[in-house]
Amino acid sequence: MINSRVIIACDFSSWDELISFLNKFNGEKLFLKIGYQLFFTIGIEKIKQLQSIGHNIFLDLKLHDIPNTVAHGVESLSKLGVDMLTIHASGGMKMMSAATTYNNPKTKLLAVTHLTSSSQEMLNNELFINEDINVAIKKLAINAYKSKINGVICSGLESKMIKENTSTDFLVVSPGIRYPDSNSDDQHRICTPKMAKENGCDYIVVGRLITKSTNPLEMYKKVVNDFMGEN
């Protein structure tokens, strides 16, 4: 797997837009997160092309359905041999366990706990979960761990708590990465690269902080240094 544990969220609307962005990195091999917006546009063949170039791929499709449907969805996607693939922890333990049945050993299967755009108010008033958001996230992570999922997607604020309640080997991949002077956009539970490192995150996912930067390569290097550096 590529040395960098900083994954770039490529929320672009077209292949040309993605390639234009990647050209700014002088041929550097990157870890790319491909979500709905881009995947539904470029399709499987372009994912294979990105892999052939040397990029690692995190396919963020957040599968959530009945166990059998998710299992066969994972089976189909696993043929790509991507590095990471997401499902929703809220689908339950049977669904998560079923997902592992057909998964390619090369692909790390990650369960989304609660999106970093979720707040305590949303949890209580819109999802009707009358529980502290940290407790809810912890329980979902434990369920994923018991279901033999490789790790979870959660805010870097929750990484330490999850490691303590599962295993140090249980992967925590954290989006919602921002600097104090940057726009939080639609994210609520955010943290800096340094905070994510201190909390024990294994990988961070960084999107607009890099993709909207006037100098994406320099911002990428800064984030990598802050998250993976010695200091």
Per the rule left: phi > 0, alpha: psi between -120 and 50, beta: everything else, 85 is: beta
Give the Cβ contact number of residue 100 at 10 Å: 15
Give the Cβ contact number of residue 26 at 10 Å: 7
Per-residue pLDDT of the chain (231 residues; tens, 9 = 90+): 356 899 999 999 999 999 999 999 999 999 999 999 999 999 999 999 999 999 999 999 999 999 999 999 999 998 999 999 999 999 999 999 999 998 899 999 999 987 667 667 777 788 777 788 889 899 999 999 999 999 999 988 889 999 999 999 999 999 989 888 655 555 556 789 999 999 999 999 999 999 999 999 999 999 999 999 865
Write the DSSP string, 91-118: G-HHHHHHHHHS--TTSEEEEE-S-TT-
Instruction: Tell me which of 24, 46, 48, 62 is the catalytic residue.
Output: 62
Cα distance between residue 164 and residue 98, in whole Å: 25
DSSP H or E segment with residue 182: none
Amino acid at 193: P
Close Cβ partners of 82 (under 8 Å, ≥ 6 residues apart): 47, 51, 57, 58, 59, 107
Q: What is the pLDDT of residue 3?
A: 63
Q: Which two tokens stand for residue 75?
A: 């089976």
Stated length of the chain: 231
Residue 77 CA, distance from chain mean position:
16
Which residues are bridge partners to 88 per DSSP?
112
Q: Could you confirm whether 62 is annotated as catalytic? A: yes
Amino acid at 102: Y
- The two beta strands, 151-153 and 203-206, are unpaired
Q: What is the pLDDT of residue 208?
A: 92
- The two beta strands, 6-9 and 203-206, are parallel
Q: What is the pLDDT of residue 1?
A: 39
Q: What is the dihedral of CA 155, 224, 82, 153, to 10 degrees?
A: -10
